[in-house]
Copies of this chain bind each other. A is one copy, B any other.
Amino acid sequence: MSSTENVKRPVGINDVAARAGVSPGTVSNVLNRPERVAEATRLRVEKAIRELDYVRNSSGRNLRSGRSDSVGLLVLDVTNPFFTMVAQGVEDEAAEAGRTVMLLNSAEDLARQRRSLRLLAEQRVAGAVVMPVDNDVTDLMWLRDRGIPWVLLDRGDVGADLGSSVCVDNHAGGVAAGRHLINLGHERVTFLSGPLGLEQCRTRLAGLRSALAESGIDAEDSVRVIETGSLTAASGEKGVEEVLAGGPRRRPQAVFCANDQLALGLLKGLGERGLSAPHDISVVGYDDIDVAALVHPGLTTVAQPKYEIGRAAMRLLSAELDGPRHGYERMLFAPELVVRGSTAAYRD
């Protein structure tokens, strides 16, 4: 109503060609292989492009070439700071390679993941970086059959013969956390886990047990496992009841959480019951999200190179898209323990 209603009639490569006095093919060459066209005509075409304010139509482009220049990124939860950092890395690396990222969110839901993969197929994206909900790769193989390659993120247990992957050594992370707690004199440790269906949770727990075992502590006896429904602060806060169940005598000396969000929720729950870390219980998290350094006391946690993981995944994908592949690659990053205030030596 208010603004002028004159929507410019769309200007295409042909209009540019007409204006510059060349054929459409030449304009296309200026756009895609400038070295093939003589300087004089190139300048003329570029001038026409500017004057007409031409912007190219990627639909036509993709249709003809059969392939888009954008890639998909499918994450488990856009609101989780861990994933957003990864996304940042993927995006930066993609931008440098001249690709655009289409971010999709499965919200840990298998049906949504399926819909998202289908969407990527419809768009004929060049490739995808995927953090799958579970270990079932049939949908992913379906995608590959359509000529769309992918790189797996944080799913170390999927066979390396199926595709490239980037992950962090969850076992080593669990070991690092375990050793730290042992050095502080803790023996009765609780593992506050997310869904044990997630490989990350299982492997971190296994690492913790290894660390205890190597110190001659019977892991079966001294590690209690509490499974929660999701890797969220809400779950952590609810989990506190079970952590404290059994009364003060059976109270764990330390809690290792599968995730920083669980740990933050747990810390809050403890606070509400008049307990605090590290005074009453030592608490260790996993991921090292930004807020881990902001809470008081600071959260001791196993840091993952989130941004770098994202970059690496996108780099792997780019390599597979550019060159012919020499088999699949698998990258394994090492986590690093960051000691802050939420852990302390055990007081007899």
Contact = CB atoms under 8 A, between A and B. Distances in A.
A38 interface: no
Interface in A327-341: 327-328
B8 A145 contact: yes
A8 to B, nearest CB: 6
A7 B57 contact: no
A314 B87 CA distance: 22
A84 interface: yes
Given A63-B63, A102-B102, A268-B294, 15 more contacts: A2-B162, A3-B144, A3-B161, A7-B147, A55-B121, A55-B122, A59-B60, A59-B68, A59-B124, A100-B104, A103-B103, A267-B296, A291-B294, A295-B295, A296-B296
A297 to B, nearest CB: 9
A269 to B, nearest CB: 10
* Copies of this protein, total: 2
A145 B57 CA distance: 16
A233 to B, nearest CB: 6
A118 B55 contact: yes
A171 B179 CA distance: 52
A81 interface: yes
A107 B123 CA distance: 26
A148 to B, nearest CB: 10
B68 A78 contact: no
A274 interface: no
B296 A124 contact: no
A81 B81 CA distance: 7
Interface string A114-158: 000011011110000000000000000000111100000000000
Interface in A88-107: 88, 91, 100-105
